Amino acid sequence: MKHNRIKLVLLLCLLYGATGYGQYITPLGVSNYGAVHSLHLNPSLSAYSSYKWHINLAGVWANVNNNYLTLRMPYSAYRLPNNVPFAYRTESGNASFDRNWLNERLNGSNKHVSVASDVYGPSASVQIKKWRVGFVSSAHAGVRISRMPENLAHALNKELDSSQGAFSLFRTLAQGGQNTIDKFSVVGTSRIAAGINVAKVIDLQWNRQLIIGATVKKNWGMPGFYLQNSGLALTTVNLDSVVFQPAKMMLVTYGDKMGKGTGIDLGATYVFNKKPTKRQGGYSKNQTKYFGKFGFSIMDIGKINYEDANFNEVTITSPVGINVDRAFRDKTAGSTNYQSLADSFLNRFGTHRQYKGNYSVGLPTRLVLSADFQVKKHLFLGGVITQSLRKKLSQNARYQSAIMVAPRWEYRFFEYSMPVLLEYDYRALRLGSSFRVGPLYFGTNSLMSFLNTKNVRDADIFVGIAFGNLPDFSFMKAWKKRKARGNSSHQGCYYF
C-alpha cells in the first residue's frame, strides 16, 4: 500500500540522516557572467550581463542537511569505496557501516530533515538591443520533515526498540507517563518546469538603469505525498506499550496522473552609479561597471493541480493501546522490516478512511533580495536574502530561507567566490566555495563537509556546463581584425 511506502521514507530519512532544501547556485546568480543562472534568483538580472548570449547545457545541485544526526566516521569518506581500511570491511570486502557512527544531537528542539536536488536543463539568454529574451528548463525533487518532536525522532532512530533506549525521552509511568507529540509534517514533491524569460532595460541619468523582467513557466507535477498529524497525546504504560489519545492523521499521495500548473517569476533590478560630480578619487577606475546593483523578485508564484489524488485519513476516536514488544518486532523482520512495521502500526492505529479527489500543491514561492557592489575592477561583494513565503508545515514545495554574503573575483574566463551563509531557515552558519573556469562551473555551500569528511552533518554541491559569446573568443577577434584591415585597404585603393 502507498501509505506504507511513505512511512518507509520517513523512517529511512531519520535513520540515515539524509536531509536539505537549501540555497543552490546563488553565488553564480549575482555574477555578471551568469545570465542564465540569474534566472533562478531574479528574472530581470539576466539583462545586465557581460555576455550578449549565454547557454547552459546541463547542471545539477544536491543538498543534504539536518539538525539531528551527525555522521562521524573513523576514516575519511574520500576512501570510499575502494580504499576503506581493512578493519571496516565486510567479509566480502565491501565497506561496512556501523550505526554507532550516527551521533544524535539531543537538545530538546524539534528536528528538521530533508533531501533536495535540482537539475538545470538546457537554458539560454540572448540580448536584443534593450531587451533580454531567454528560455529556462529545470527539474526539482525533494523530501522534507518539519518539526519532528525529538522524542519521536529518537524512538524511530532506535527502531522502536526499548532495549536500545528508544523510549528514553518519553515520560515514564513513574513520571506520570503523559507525553505530547506536537504537530509535524512530512512532504515529498517533484516537478519539471520550462519557461520563457523577458527583461527590458530602461536607461536613466548618470549611467543608471532600471531593469524589469518576468519569467512564465509551465510546470508538470510528478509524484509526491503529504503526511501531517494534528498532534498526539500518549501515555506510557511500560517500556513497550503506549496508549494514544484521540487524534487525526492525514496522508495524501498524488501523481498517478501528471499534475499541471503555471508559475511566474517577477523581478526588478536597479543599477546605480554616483553622479559625475561625486566620482572622486579612483571611482572611475574601480567602478568600471557600477557602484551597486540591487534586485527584488518574487519567484515561483503559482501551483500545480492534481487529479485523483489518494487521501488516507486515520482517526483515533477513543484511546488506543499499541504494543511494540519483541514479538511484534520479530513479525516485521527481514528485508521489508520498516514497511511491515509501518503497516502493522497504521492498521492498529484507529479508524481508516480512504477516498480520491483533486489536490493542489503550491510552488516554492519566495522573496529574493540581492545586492552586488563593485569594490575594484575585478573584485565584487554580493549578498542575497531568500525568504520563503510558504509555511513549514504546508503541503507545498518549499525552499528554506537563507542569507548569503560573498566576495567574488570575476574575470571573463575565471571566477571565484567564497560565500558565507546563514541557511536552513537561518539555523546554520556555513562557508562555501564557488568556481567558474571557462564553461565549467562547480562549488559547494557547505565547504567544511568536504574538508572534514569524518564529521558530516550536511553536504551541498553543484556542477554544470555553460558558455557564452563564443564568436568573441580571441582567435575569432584576430580573424575579424584581419578581415577588417583587408576591407579597409580595398576601400582605400578604390577611392584612390
Residue 77 per-residue DSSP state: G
pLDDT tens, residue by residue, 185-241: 999 999 999 999 999 999 999 999 999 999 999 999 999 999 988 887 877 766 667
Helices 2-16 and 150-157 pack at an angle, to 10 degrees, of: 90
Pair 254, 310: CB distance under 8 Å: yes
pLDDT in tens, 47-95: 999 999 999 999 999 998 999 999 888 888 888 888 888 888 888 888 8
pLDDT by 10s per residue, the chain, length 496: 444 444 433 443 443 333 334 446 788 889 999 999 999 999 999 999 999 999 999 999 999 899 999 988 888 888 888 888 888 888 888 888 888 888 999 998 999 988 899 999 999 999 999 999 999 999 999 999 999 999 889 988 888 777 888 878 888 777 777 888 888 999 999 999 999 999 999 999 999 999 999 999 999 999 999 998 888 787 776 666 777 777 788 899 999 999 999 999 999 999 999 998 888 888 888 899 999 999 999 999 999 999 999 998 887 777 777 666 655 555 544 434 444 555 555 555 567 788 999 999 999 999 999 999 999 999 999 999 999 999 999 999 999 999 999 999 999 999 999 999 999 999 899 999 999 999 999 999 989 888 888 888 888 999 999 999 865 544 455 556 666 666 655 444 433 3
Q: What are phi and psi of 224, to 5 degrees?
A: -160, 180
Q: Are 488 and 482 contacting, i.e. CB atoms less than 8 angstroms apart?
A: no
The 10 Å Cβ neighbour count of residue 338 is 20
Reading the block at residue 489, the C-alpha cell is 585597404
Task: Give the contacts of 403 (CB within 8 A, at least 6 positions apart).
Answer: 383, 384, 385, 386, 421, 422, 423, 426
Quickly list H helices, 183-260.
none
Cα 115 to chain center, whole Å?
A: 8
Assess if residue 399 is contained within a domain.
Answer: yes
Bond preceding residue 319 cis, omega within 30 of 0: no
Output the nine-digit C-alpha cell for 424. 536552513
User: Under a CB-based contact definition with an 8 Å cutoff, are residues 183 and 393 in contact?
Assistant: yes
Q: How far apart are the first and last CA of the chain?
A: 89
Q: Residues 402, 424: contact at Cβ < 8 Å? A: yes
CA 386 from centre of chain? 12
**Considering its fold, how many domains does the chain have in total?**
1
Tell me the DSSP string of 110-125.
-EEEEEEEEEE-SEEE
CB of 193 closer than 8 Å to CB of 138: yes
Q: Where are any strands of DSSP class E within 173-258?
A: 178-181, 185-203, 209-221, 224-229, 232-238, 241-244, 247-254
| Dist. CA 33–CA 72, nearest whole Å | 39
| 94 domain residue, yes or no | no
In a domain, 324, yes or no: yes
Cell numbers placing 471? 564568436
Whether 26 maps to a domain, the answer reads: yes
Distance CA 418, CA 381 (A): 10
Q: What is the CATH number of the domain that holds 62?
A: 2.40.160
Would you say residue 426 lies in a domain? Answer: yes
Domain that holds residue 46: 2-68+105-495
DSSP three-state, residue 17:
coil
Residue 93 lies in a domain: no
Residue 59 located in a structural domain: yes
For residue 61, which amino acid is it? Answer: W
Q: Which three cell numbers stand for residue 270?
A: 536597479
Task: Give yes or no for a contact between 157 and 149, defined as CB atoms under 8 angstroms apart.
Answer: no
Residue 231 lies in a domain: yes
